[in-house]
Amino acid sequence: MVVVEVGSPTPRTVRVVVQGDLADWPEPGAAAHTKVFLPDTPSGPVMRTYTVRHFHRAEGLVTIDFLLNPGLGPATQWAARVVPGMRMELGGRSRSAFSPDPDAGRYLFAGDESALPAIATCLESLPASAHACVIAEIPDEAEAQSFTSPATVTGQWVLLDGDGSALKGEVIAAARAERYDRIWVACEAATMRAIRRALLDEGVPTDRLTTRGYWKRGESDHSDHDTGADVS
């Protein structure tokens, strides 16, 4: 895959569009992720998991948003210097992690800035009859993004407090204030577990709750299969 376009939706986000032969790819669906192989980083070749932000089969285009983390890991360093003409590879098939429920009308989406691309694709997949609330944690107001959706969307931006407690507090408050048919949460793994435990304690049924640990403090490449299922 060849990088054909690079943009910056926010100061800490690098949007990379790559082009190649994707005729055999299935439609990614909402919150789909895929393995990204970066052949040329300061640490050598690395593999990471990223959300498929956009997919255009006819033109063979895939868009991926890279977050410029303060830790300056190899993927961050690659994204900070990426220009058209550089290469990366996509491994395997993208797998969707969300699909609208025909019986659901009200959704709550919550996450930190690592989850913003996935939340955006979830919102885009909703029907016009749906109502969605978004609670997103960001380090500063410059990282706030615009979402588009056929549904009616309300939201708030929670400024980063370092341990996820602000995000947790806002999610629990929202769940207490209104019954949601589906709740979807993705963020740092320990914060996700704290939110999941609190929601379950509030009586939210497991079949209405989806949780994902997108990263973990102290780890460079957290498992993309972390659903928090150990908290039940």
229 lies in some domain: no
If asked whether residues 69 and 167 sit together in one domain, one would say no
Q: What pLDDT shows up at residue 110?
A: 98
- Integer Cα distance of 174 and 184 in angstroms: 13
Residues 201, 140, single domain; the answer is: yes
- Taking every pair of C-alpha atoms in the chain, what is the biggest distance, in angstroms? 51
Indicate the SS3 state at residue 89: strand
User: Does 110 share its domain with 91?
Assistant: no
167 in any annotated domain: yes
Residue 227 within any structural domain of the chain: no
Q: Place 177 in a pLDDT band, splitting at 50, 70 and 90.
A: very high
Judge if 85 and 130 occupy the same domain: no
Residue 181 lies in a domain: yes
Query: What is the CATH classification number for the domain harbouring 68?
Result: 2.40.30.10
* Pair 121, 206 in one domain: yes
Question: Which residues form the domain of 205?
Answer: 106-215
Q: Which residues contact 55 (CB under 8 A, 6 or more apart)?
A: 22, 25, 27, 28, 61, 62, 63, 94
Q: 117 pLDDT band (50/70/90 cuts)?
A: very high
Helix (H/G/I), strand (E/B), else coil: 119? helix
Q: What is the pTM of this model?
A: 0.94
Looking at the structure, do residues 111 and 135 belong to the same domain, yes or no? yes
Backbone angles phi, psi at 183, to 5 degrees: -125, 130
Name the domain count of the chain.
2
Residue 54 has pLDDT above 80, yes or no: yes
Q: Evaluate whether residue 225 is within a structural domain.
A: no
The confidence band for 93, taking pLDDT boundaries of 50, 70 and 90, is: low
The domain spanning residue 173 has which CATH number?
Answer: 3.40.50.80
Helix or strand run (H / E) with residue 93: strand 89-95
